[in-house]
Amino acid sequence: MRSRWSRALGMGLCCLGLLTSGGLLTAAPKQAGPDKVLDAHALAARIDAHLQAKWDRNKVTPAPPADDAEFLRRISLDLIGRIPTVTELHEFLDDKSPDKRSRLVERLLETHGYVGHFTVVWRDLLIPQGAGNNQFAPQFAQQMESWLTKRIQDNAGYDTMVRDLLTAEPYGFRVRGGQPQAVNPADRSVVAFYQANENKPENVAATVSRLFLGVKLECAQCHDHPFNRYSRAQFWELAAFFSGLTPQGARPRQPGGFAGFDPTRKQIKIMGTERVVDAKFLDGKVPKFEEGVDVRTVLADWIVRPDNPYFSRAAVNYVWAQFFGLGIIEPVDEPSDDNPPSHPELLDEMARQFALNKYDIKYLIKAITASRAYQLSSVVSHPTQHDARLFAAVQLKGMAPEQLLRSLDLAVGNLEGTSRFPQGFRGRPAFNTMAFELRNKFANYSDKKTEYQTSILQALALMNGRLIGDATSLTRSGTLAAVADSPFLDTEGKLNALFLATLSRKMKPNEAARLVRYVDGGGPSKDGDKALADVFWTLLNSSEFILNH
């Protein structure tokens, strides 16, 4: 078992400093002149150069490269949300071409698995299901899936996605001449974003600032922050862009009249005071509003402008954190003078190239996964690799509940369950029931994946739950039954088959010596098949299986 598993889960084989008083954003990235547009591999080389420069300055010895099996497992979990099949593993290991890793990334990005997994990734970012007190957050998150799936299938630019999200009709219909009109059903589910924020201007403003500018502005909702340099008035000036919303509980009438939504409204009263403020951008500039224009459109246009570096920096930082477990700014939504980027020049350059490449998320993914840093081993081989923010070794990451469920489902042999559920919990009833239970127990999946902790209930769900029980049943587990009954495999071959199905590798010599002896001896029950089931149970509950490394 790897040297770092014991630090991870223990289940193994036994408010930005943003605004000055003048309203200008502090610590703004330097704006360069006209940039050369780099392709993904050229940007990967620039990522490597920035990281190498810091390694050299800090006398860091990076980890060795991950072997092909380790890379395949990592990229499969990161791009399609599950471990690789044994067939996929053999095919990749047998491929001797030097560019097979980049070709694999290209192929995975065109699969339904990528669409389904990143639907979940963006869904959980837009509507966190474990945060806040909104009991309907899981329902709103599922509503978002159809809208996100279509955008990801079309590889829509991130700027287009955000603009469409911000300017969506918040009640699922639009009003013209005082009368409601239908909205395209394909776009109606996006209203869940507003519903999850209770249609409250202050909630929407806080979420928009955090997600799309990387600014945790809600700290200033009730008072000026005592440490950072943004004010209560500036929070409410942003909230004023959403002042036309009607909070839940005061829903607009339809049809035949419209009681609440005024998309042209651009003033709001600061909560708890009599002061009214006008909508204003976070850089202090006063917007130019045309008569009758939805003020949210004016805000959306400003947010996604190519010369707004905070939009592209926030997006790059979120995507980087998705693949490395932590951001270049960490926490990802709290940049400040006291929390600067670990690699500011790298973040700026990636943000510029992301904008120059039309906010193409796949482009960003290709560049990150082609970098040397992403392809390093997760096994720490030198003391200088312990500082996670140097990215000199890949960090262990907790799996999201969907990743864990799909990987379990695949490992135990229920292939139809994995292949037919690219967007969540749909399909055969038993799978759905187990998925719902697992999602509830793992709803506290941490935003900081490298500090993932498991609860007692989560541990029990894996050790004694129905899914693991079925997985290790000689009559109900497709994988275990096939391996145990195989007339072509000796004990070592059977054990290796289970290792490949779960950990995507064969046994190490010390593991083989111990486990072959255990199975041949029949374990406590003196039954070889039951001893084999014991090993399978152990593998499925091991840290090496339930972590992404």
Residue 275's SS3 state is: coil
Distances (CA, A) of 397 to 71, 101, 350, 453, 547: 14, 21, 23, 10, 6
179 vs 373, higher pLDDT: 373
- Rounded to whole angstroms, the Cα distance separating 160 from 315 reads 13
Residue 180 has pLDDT above 60, yes or no: no
Sort strands 173-176 and 276-278 into parallel, antiparallel or unpaired.
Answer: unpaired
pLDDT at 253: 46
Q: How many CA atoms lie within 13 A of 287 on its CB side?
A: 26
Residue 233 has a pLDDT of 85
Please report which confidence band the pLDDT of residue 425 belongs to, taking 50, 70 and 90 as the band edges: very low
Question: Which whole number is the average pLDDT over 148-153?
Answer: 94
Distance between CA 474 and CA 478 in Å, rounded?
8
Contacts (Cβ under 8 Å, ≥6 apart) of 492: 507, 512, 516
Contact criterion met (CB below 8 Å) for 69 and 84: no
- Say if CB 546 and CB 399 are below 8 A apart: yes
Residue of higher predicted confidence among 458 and 15: 458
Question: Is 70 exceeded by the pLDDT of residue 6?
Answer: no
Distance, CA of 273 to CA of 255 (rounded, Å): 35
Tokens, residue 435: 């998925």
Report the alpha-carbon distance of residue 356 to residue 350 in Å, rounded: 10
Number of domain units in the chain: 1
Q: What is the pLDDT of residue 494?
A: 97
- In 3D space, the residue among 80, 37, 123 whose CA is nearest the CA of residue 399 turns out to be 80
Residue-level pLDDT at 48: 97
pLDDT tens per residue, range 19-52: 333 333 434 434 444 579 999 999 999 999 999 9
Alpha-carbon span 333 to 180, nearest angstrom: 37
198 in any annotated domain: no
pLDDT in tens, 73-131: 999 999 999 999 999 999 999 999 999 999 999 999 999 999 999 998 998 888 875 44
Percentage with pLDDT > 90 across the chain: 54
State the chain's mean pLDDT as an integer.
81
180 falls within a domain:
no
Quick one: average pLDDT of 139-147?
79
Q: Domain containing 443: what range? A: 397-548
Residue 214 lies in a domain: no
The residue ranking higher by pLDDT, 462 or 87, is: 87
- Residue among 259, 385, 299 at smallest CA distance from 3: 385
pLDDT at 313 over 80: yes
Closest CA to 434 of 396, 392, 456, 401: 401
Mean pLDDT of 178-191: 63
Cβ within 8 Å of residue 77, ≥6 positions away = 83, 399, 403, 407, 548
Q: What are the backbone dihedrals phi and psi of residue 395, each rounded to the nearest 5 degrees, phi first?
A: -85, 145
**End-to-end Cα, the chain, rounded Å:** 12
Does the pLDDT of residue 251 top 60, yes or no?
Answer: no
**Mean pLDDT value of segment 195-207:** 90
Give the DSSP H/E element, type plus range, for residue 75: helix 68-80
Q: How far is CA 233 from CA 171, 210, 318, 422, 488, in A?
A: 28, 17, 28, 43, 74
For residue 342 the two structure tokens come to 């670990």
Mean pLDDT to the nearest integer, 178-200:
72
| DSSP per-residue codes, 433-501 | HHHHHHHHHTTT--SSGGG----HHHHHHHHHSHHHHHHT-TTT-HHHHHHHH-TT--HHHHHHHHHHH
Residue type, 439: R
Share of the chain above pLDDT 70, in %: 73
Residue 534 lies in a domain: yes
Confidence of residue 465 (pLDDT cuts 50, 70, 90): low
Q: What is the pTM of this model?
A: 0.86
Most confident residue range from 334-338, 340-344, 466-470: 340-344
**Residue 446 belongs to a domain:** yes
78 assigned to some structural domain: no
Cβ within 8 Å of residue 40, ≥6 positions away: 363, 366, 367, 370
Confidence grade of residue 140 (pLDDT, cut at 50, 70, 90):
confident
3-state secondary structure of 420: coil
Peptide bond into 255 cis (omega under 30): yes
Q: Are 432 and 417 in contact, with CB atoms under 8 Å apart?
A: no
pLDDT reading at 429 higher than 80 = no
Among 165-174, 292-301, 343-352, 376-385, the range scoring the smallest mean pLDDT is: 165-174
Question: Minimal CA–CA distance to 92: which of 107, 81, 114, 82?
Answer: 107
Residue 81 in any domain: the answer is no
Least confident piece of the model among 189-193, 234-238, 270-274, 412-416: 412-416
Q: What is the pLDDT of residues 524-537, one digit of tens each?
A: 999 999 999 999 98
**What is the pLDDT averaged over residues 205-224?**
77
Per-residue pLDDT tens digits for 111-123: 999 999 999 899 8
Of residues 161 and 169, the one with the higher pLDDT is 161
Angle at 517 between CA 513 and CA 520, to 5 degrees: 140
Q: Which two tokens stand for residue 488?
A: 């072509």
Give residue 428's pLDDT. 44
- Residue 172 or 254, more confident: 172
Cβ–Cβ under 8 Å, residues 503 and 539: yes
Q: What is the chain's alpha carbon radius of gyration, rounded to the nearest angstrom?
A: 25
* Domain-located, residue 478: yes
